[in-house]
Amino acid sequence: MSDPNGKKKLALDALDEIAGDLEKRFQVSKTVLTFKEYLELFAEDPRRHGRDAANYVRDMFDHYGTETVDKPWGKLTRYKLFDLPWESGSPSRETPLVAQEELQAALYKFLCNFVNEGRANKLVLMHGPNGSAKSTTAACVLRALENYSTLDEGALYRFHWVFPSRKTTRGSIGFGETKTSADGGTWEDSFAHLSDDEIDARIVMEIRDHPLFLLPLAERRQLLAKLYAGSSEGPPVWLSTGQLSHKNQLVFQALMMAEEGSLVRALRHVQVERWNVSRKYRQGAITLGPELSVDAGERQVTADRSLSALPTALQATTLFEAHGELIEAAGGVLEFSDLLKRPIDAFRYLQLTLETGEIALPHQNVQTNVVMIGSANEIHLAAFREHPEFPSFRGRFELVAAPYLRNALDEQRIYDHRSLRTLRATSLRTRPPWRQSSP
């Protein structure tokens, strides 16, 4: 007869162990940082922490490596990320990309072109017959981004604004503390690590501006020149020229006014946060179907109840929150599935967005930092070629063929993988309830 008390103790011990491991991982991964702590982290490896989306996705390809495969028509380079190696052995493993090495090489080539040109200024459109693995190719890239962002090599950071409570500052939520004109504050006064009960308000920034955008443009360029000195690659254009989004700029200006121009005191309110790419939670990896909706918009957030705790200078400021797939995909990849099934008016805005690197909203222009890929079948592409607008779109699209496989052995591998998944799923369904968690 089993011992219930023994199992309870076992469960509690396991819970303590899990909690301890999570706390250690939280500290090691540097999940929450002050602006000073982030700047020190950036200085350790400027190239890693200063990448734009094109650099990031290309480095993700390089991280998983390549191998040479023999085909009847010659040797080809295969990018291992399409084998989903981090999911090896998992019963829920998704379908890897079989063959299509030419397609992989084309994607990598365009990513390198984007890096050389300073940003992803074109949409990579994969075209081919139905069943030619276009969606599988995109899914593998998004899955790889998810895994890569959890690694030290793929760490991503954004920032929010925090405002401490009166009992913490003995003032008015970070404003109006008694100070002399010579008191510029110190970096150690940051509010980034305050507990929830010490914070009255937190403004979450949905647009993932780089933390260095908080530094004035001229001084930022001088700093980047020093940090990138001796590097084989200079700072990305995005990092050297990018500016704060409208919402961030309004908060920053209000803080600088309230703090009498003290940058150190204003940056005390910055909380730098590590974030992970997630398809499920729509962060940095977005798949957009052929709906007829607008892919970006904005809404006013001034009336939000949480903002009532903000200082007067910010309560009187009208803030707008951007939303939509183009915003959610920032820093990663946005996939337009079956793009050409949409009416042309539904994606005409992509021309200007890709050309200028900005999406125009009613109250602001949002700088885009995203790699766009899409898919289309040959019938829709043939019809699109006949459209009078095609020549203007052609300059902003990179067309990549995704043909049917020409090797029977590759086709056999697809069916073998599907059979294995079916077998595993059947095994889990028919296994007795008390053995569902067994390997």
Q: In this predicted structure, what is the pLDDT of residue 113?
A: 96
pLDDT in tens, 361-378: 888 888 999 999 999 999
Q: Quote the tokens at residue 187.
A: 């970096």
User: Binning pLDDT at 50, 70 and 90, where does residue 174 land?
Assistant: very low
Q: What is the mean pLDDT of residues 262-279?
A: 94
Give the pairing of strands 285-288 and 270-275: unpaired
- DSSP conformation class of 278: B
> For residue 191, what are the contacts with CB-CB under 8 A and spacing of at least 6?
162, 163, 164, 168, 174, 199, 268, 269, 271
Please name the fold of domain 29-406. Answer: Rossmann fold (3.40.50)
Torsion, Cα of 395, 324, 312, 272 (10° steps): -80
Nearest-angstrom CA–CA distance, 308 and 315: 7
Nearest-angstrom CA–CA distance, 5 and 312: 56
| Residue 358 reports pLDDT greater than 60 | yes
| Residue 412 reports pLDDT greater than 70 | no
31-35, 272-276, 313-317: range with lowest mean pLDDT: 313-317
pLDDT in tens, 334-355: 999 999 998 888 888 899 899 9
Grouping H, G, I as helix, E, B as strand and the rest as coil, residue 334 is strand
User: Binning pLDDT at 50, 70 and 90, where does residue 88 land?
Assistant: confident
Of the CA atoms within 13 Å of residue 371, those in its CB half-sphere come to 28
As a whole number, the mean pLDDT across the chain is 83
| Residue 192 reports pLDDT greater than 70 | yes
Exposed/middle/buried for 30, CB within 10 Å: 0-12, 13-18, 19+?
middle
